[in-house]
Amino acid sequence: MSTLTEPSLSAFANPIKRYLAATRPAFLSVTLVGCVLGLATARQGGVPLLVAPAALTVLLALLTHAAANVLNDYFDHLNGSDAANTARVFPFTGGSRFIQNGVISAETTRRFGLLLFAAVVPGGLALVWSSGPGLLWIGALGMAIGWAYSAPPLKLASRGLGELAVAAGWLLVVVGADYVQRGAFSSQPLVAGSGFALLVANLLYLNQFPDARADAQAGKHTLVVRLGLRGARWGYWVLALAAHAAVLLAVAGRMLPPAALLSLLSLPPALLAGIVLWRHAEHPALLAAAIRLTILSALVHGLVLAIALAV
């Protein structure tokens, strides 16, 4: 278990600070980068930046991600996986610990997650009105994935489909941000966002290693649980290499400009993380560095690619 201090009620006596922290704001950075990448693909397509819709897009995407985080805490409390997780690498895995440490009750967590989801609806409808009906399908699918990831009856993560859900969800972030600007569907955000989405999915995949024993005990059969700790090590390499191969293929096929190759700067941290995982897959306390490197890889990839496309 990490030596970092877990949350306590005394540390979060301020309710604003408490509820903000319950959304796990540090992890929202990947959604912010996904939005920036979508704005960049629209800009590459010759669309001038619409500042107000862009700002609202970012806000709604962050709220959706926050809602999914909060509800994931609630449902992992119900299935017992977070309570049983003594091998967690806090603050990266094992949930926020707000319910387990008595900072926020389980029922309040549920209500808060639902409130965050509800807050997305009016702003989303306003964007649909201004940009086009296609955004309604993007938003609805994104919220459905956020809910179904951990909530019954689908419980996608528990069925080994968490990585697919996460990759689809963050690809929708890129597509949605582009659509708001462009007012139409385009293949460009799909092409540019594929590698980024796979790297975000790889972060989820890596986070399942410290949680695997508790997940298995709770009947949460993630992909890592199904493959076993040693066998699952290959999966990290597959996702990392596929993400970067997607950029190479897109540039070779002239679907992305040559400058997009700069996004391959995200490959070294991913490879380093893969080496750490290969050596320490069965020792959760030693995986914190790999998790940090994987976060860095996803953020660098998305930001550098966005700059390359926009500039």
SS3 state of residue 187: coil
* pLDDT tens track, the chain, 311 positions: 445 689 999 999 999 999 999 999 989 999 999 999 999 999 999 999 999 999 999 999 999 999 999 999 999 999 999 999 999 999 999 999 999 999 999 999 999 999 999 999 999 999 999 999 999 999 999 999 999 999 999 999 999 999 999 999 999 999 999 999 999 999 999 999 999 999 999 999 999 999 999 999 999 999 999 999 999 999 999 999 999 999 999 999 999 999 999 999 999 999 999 999 999 999 999 999 999 999 999 999 999 999 999 98
Q: How many domains does the chain have?
A: 1
7, part of any domain: no
8, part of any domain: no
Structural domain of residue 256, as residue ranges? 15-310
Question: In CATH, what number is assigned to the domain containing residue 68?
Answer: 1.10.600
Contact predicate 251/259, CB 8 Å: no
Per-residue H/E/C for 156-183: HHHHCCHHHHHHHHHHHHHHHHHHHHHC
Tell which residue, 33, 30, 31, has the closest CA to residue 307: 33
10, part of any domain: no
Tell which residue, 26, 17, 106, 108, has the closest CA to residue 65: 26
2, part of any domain: no
Q: Say what the pTM is.
A: 0.95
5, part of any domain: no
Cα–Cα distance, 113 to 77 (Å, whole number) = 14
